[in-house]
Structure formats: structure tokens, C-alpha cells
């Protein structure tokens, strides 16, 4: 009898999907001793105590049940209040706000809620970008269309760059500012340009503002607060980065009721709701977490200058990031690919950073280093890098930033 291929196998499109370039690298780094990691994208702080205590309080009282699919109404009111007072954009807590399991879940829901699978519907994605954007767009049956940015203009995307990639199939623009991995943010006039374009071509804007609270150079403008944008934007924000809460898996999405309702439909069948204790913690973060968050932001900004100046002293050209906690220096002058550079740096000097091409093809020639690490770790990593660059004959001194 002819032998058939076993049914016990994953779907072809999942087999074809490459694993995240970040994870692959860190699986290796985590097996090595004495590695200084500037690789992971998470705060080096624990969640502030009062926030942890709020979750403990809920657990101690046996508050361990499901919540409404949308999430706890008190938390949604607190989020709506926060967005209105901080950015001047008003959302109805009842039906325009959804509590999600991280911005990760929110993005996945939104892409699945807006894209008609297999019609070739396109999402414009400025690159370099967060590693999930392309796979999640494709899992939702859409087509990810990269729009390249470069160090020469500080990795700022412009409306004109986006306009060139618009086709009759374009449905949405996926923005992320401040950006992972470049740390670039966008000014209000730049965002207004993108807003005009969204209006002209009737596009949905998915605005991932998870690093908005971590803005150092440019005051953060919430995209949906721009005239006419509330009606066509899904805003994503969360607690992972601003309040050092990555492990709690808690975030929110706000947008026009029909889009949020569509997202809730998927969420109710797949996730049901976000964990209730994390929702209590998030509520506390909004009520009393600002002061501690401010201290963390202040400290990231200080480390940012240390690391960028350190790179520049070693001859790596590096723009000053405007937000988040990432730097994206250039290694073009070494003649190595970003993977070669990062692998050798890891094996020879035990410093873990992420190859730039993990964030899209135009990240080639760069690496991402996070400065959510202690000052001592950053200083030691810079010393190790100096040794490495010297050894490979690529040590230059005092290169000016490109932008």
C-alpha cells in the first residue's frame, strides 16, 4: 500500500513561518555563562510594590473569577479617564475599550478583525519594526507591506514614504512610535501628515503606542487625538513597559465601537478575558503608579545617554533614540552582516545584542541593544565591545551620530 504523509503534522503555512530572530538568538545566549544581555525588550525593574500588592489583595479575597469579556468596567473607566486627561481623547469605557492579554493579543485581534483573509489585503508596516507585525498580519490572511526607514533620517517614517506603497488593496497602516527597535518617535506634524494620508485613502490606523510613556525628546502625541483620527484608529497601549509589568500580560485597545465589537467577538472565543488579578494590578498602576513610572523613565533616559555616547566613542554611529529603551547602532563599517557581528560578539565577548535584520530587511547593518540594564552592565558591555571591535580592526574613535 502506498504510504501516505501522516496527518499528525502542523499546517504548511506554520511550518513555513520562520521563528522569531530574537528568540533563536536568546536561546543560545541563555545557555552560556557570564553573558551580559542587552537583548531582551523588557524593563530590568520588578513591578512596583503597590501594584503587586493590589493583585495579592484580590487573590487573598478570593477574587479569582472571569470578568466581562471587555474586562472590568472600573479598569476601562480608569483607562478612558487616563487617555482623556493625558492626551485629550475621549473613549466610551462601555464599548470602545477592550482589556487584552498584552498589546500582543490586541494586535492579533485587530488584524484578524479588519482583514478579509485571502483577498490580498495589505497592511503598510514601517520597518525596522517589532518582530510580530509581519507574522501576525500573515496569520490574519493579510499581506505585510514593508515601508523602509533609515538611519539617515533618524528612522522617521513620513507620509510620502507611505504614500508610495499605497495600492487599491491597502487597508491599514500599522504605526509604532516610539519604535522598537530603533527608539525613533514621531513629531505631531509628522503624525498629522500620516493622518491626512489615512483620511485621503480611507485607511484604518493601528497605532501601537506601548512605549508612549517612555518618551524623552518628543512629547508623545496619541494618534487618535488628532482631528478626525479617533474614527479610524485602533489605539494599543499597555502596562508591560511603562510600569515594568511584562509578565502580567495586561493591556488595552481603544477604538470605534464596530471595530472593538469585532475584536471582542474573537477575544470571547479565544481568550474569554484577561486575568482578573492582572486587571486589579493595572487599575492600581493607573491610580497610583505614575510616580514610580516617572522614576523609571528618568533612569532609562540617563542610561540612554551613557550607552549612545559609549557607542559613539567606539566609532559606532548611533542616532539618539527619542523613546523606548533601545538603541540601533550601525556596524556597516565592520563589513560583517548583523548576524555574523552579533554571533561573534556573543561567542567571543559574551555580550548579547539582537541582529538588526530580525526587525526587517532594512535593519541589516545594525544591531539592537536595550539599555533597560544596569549602568554597570552597560559599562561592562561597552568595554567588551571595545575589545571586540579592536580585535576585528573596526575600532574608530568619536564618530558623530548620523542623525
Residue among 151 and 174 whose Cβ is closer to ligand PLP: 174
Contacts of 289 (CB under 8 A, 6+ apart): 48, 50, 51, 243
Site string (37-66) toward ligand PLP, x via CB under 6 A: ----x-------------------------
Least distance in angstroms from the C-beta of 25 to ligand PLP: 15
Site string (64-103) toward ligand PLP, x via CB under 6 A: --------------------------------------xx
- Paired with 147 in beta bridges are 126
For residue 191, what is its C-alpha cell?
Answer: 503624525
Instruction: Tell which one of 176, 215, 293, 357 touches ligand PLP (CB under 6 A).
Output: 176
Residue among 180 and 185 whose Cβ is closer to ligand PLP: 180
Least distance in angstroms from the C-beta of 170 to ligand PLP: 21
Least distance in angstroms from the C-beta of 251 to ligand PLP: 4
Least distance in angstroms from the C-beta of 212 to ligand PLP: 11
Residue among 41 and 355 whose Cβ is closer to ligand PLP: 41
186 binding ligand PLP? (CB under 6 A) = no
Residue among 107 and 316 whose Cβ is closer to ligand PLP: 107
Residue among 267 and 312 whose Cβ is closer to ligand PLP: 267
Q: Contacts from 297-306 at CB under 8 Å and sequence distance 24+?
A: 297/213, 297/214, 297/216, 297/242, 300/214, 300/216, 300/325, 300/371, 300/372, 301/216, 303/371, 303/372, 303/373, 303/375, 303/378, 304/183, 304/216, 304/371, 306/371, 306/375, 306/378, 306/379
Least distance in angstroms from the C-beta of 239 to ligand PLP: 7
Q: Dihedral of CA 109/111/117/118: which sign?
A: negative
Among 336, 400, 326, smallest CA distance to 369 is for 326
180 binding ligand PLP? (CB under 6 A) = yes
Q: How far apart are CA 286 and CA 309, in angstroms?
A: 34
210 binding ligand PLP? (CB under 6 A) = yes
For residue 363, what is its C-alpha cell?
Answer: 535593519
Q: How far apart are CA 64 and CA 225, in angstroms?
A: 35
Footprint on this chain of ligand PLP (rule: CB under 6 A): 41, 102-104, 130, 176, 180, 208, 210, 238, 240, 246, 251
Amino acid at each position: 500500500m502506498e504510504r501516505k504523509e501522516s496527518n499528525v503534522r502542523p499546517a504548511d503555512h506554520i511550518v513555513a513561518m520562520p521563528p522569531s530572530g530574537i528568540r533563536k538568538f536568546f536561546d543560545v545566549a541563555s545557555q552560556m555563562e557570564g553573558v551580559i544581555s542587552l537583548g531582551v525588550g523588557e524593563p530590568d525593574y520588578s513591578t512596583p510594590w503597590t501594584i503587586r500588592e493590589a493583585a495579592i489583595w484580590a487573590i487573598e479575597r478570593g477574587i479569582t473569577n472571569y470578568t466581562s469579556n471587555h474586562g472590568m468596567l472600573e479598569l476601562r473607566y480608569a483607562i478612558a479617564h487616563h487617555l482623556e486627561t493625558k492626551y485629550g481623547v475621549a473613549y466610551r469605557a462601555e464599548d470602545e475599550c477592550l482589556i487584552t492579554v498584552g498589546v500582543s493579543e490586541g494586535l492579533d485581534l485587530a488584524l484578524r478583525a479588519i482583514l478579509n483573509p485571502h483577498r490580498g489585503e495589505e497592511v503598510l508596516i514601517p520597518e525596522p519594526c517589532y518582530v510580530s507585525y509581519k507574522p501576525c498580519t500573515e496569520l490574519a490572511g493579510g499581506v505585510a507591506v514593508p515601508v523602509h526607514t533609515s538611519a539617515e533620517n533618524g528612522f522617521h517614517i513620513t507620509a510620502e514614504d507611505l504614500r508610495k506603497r499605497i495600492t487599491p488593496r491597502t487597508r491599514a497602516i500599522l504605526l509604532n512610535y516610539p519604535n522598537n527597535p530603533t527608539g525613533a518617535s514621531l513629531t505631531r506634524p509628522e503624525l498629522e501628515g500620516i493622518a491626512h494620508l489615512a483620511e485621503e485613502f480611507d485607511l484604518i490606523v493601528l497605532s501601537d503606542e506601548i512605549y508612549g510613556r517612555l518618551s524623552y525628546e518628543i512629547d508623545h502625541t496619541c494618534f487618535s487625538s488628532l482631528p478626525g483620527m479617533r474614527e479610524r484608529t485602533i489605539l494599543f497601549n499597555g502596562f508591560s513597559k511603562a510600569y515594568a509589568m511584562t509578565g502580567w500580560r495586561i493591556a488595552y485597545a481603544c477604538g470605534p465601537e464596530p471595530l472593538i465589537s469585532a475584536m471582542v467577538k474573537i477575544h470571547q472565543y479565544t481568550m474569554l478575558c484577561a486575568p482578573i488579578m492582572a486587571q486589579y494590578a493595572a487599575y492600581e498602576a493607573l491610580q497610583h503608579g505614575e510616580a514610580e513610572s516617572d522614576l523609571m523613565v528618568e533612569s532609562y533616559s540617563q542610561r540612554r545617554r551613557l550607552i549612545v555616547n559609549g557607542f559613539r566613542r567606539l566609532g559606532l554611529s548611533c542616532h539618539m533614540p527619542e523613546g523606548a529603551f533601545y538603541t540601533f547602532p550601525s556596524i556597516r563599517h565592520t563589513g560583517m552582516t548583523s548576524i555574523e557581528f552579533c554571533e561573534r560578539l556573543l561567542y567571543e565577548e559574551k555580550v548579547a545584542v539582537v541582529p538588526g535584520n530580525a526587525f526587517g530587511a532594512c535593519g541589516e547593518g545594525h544591531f539592537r541593544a536595550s539599555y533597560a540594564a544596569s549602568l554597570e552592565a552597560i559599562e561592562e558591555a561597552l568595554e567588551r565591545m571595545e575589545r571586540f571591535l579592536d580585535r576585528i580592526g573596526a575600532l574608530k574613535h568619536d564618530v558623530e551620530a548620523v542623525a
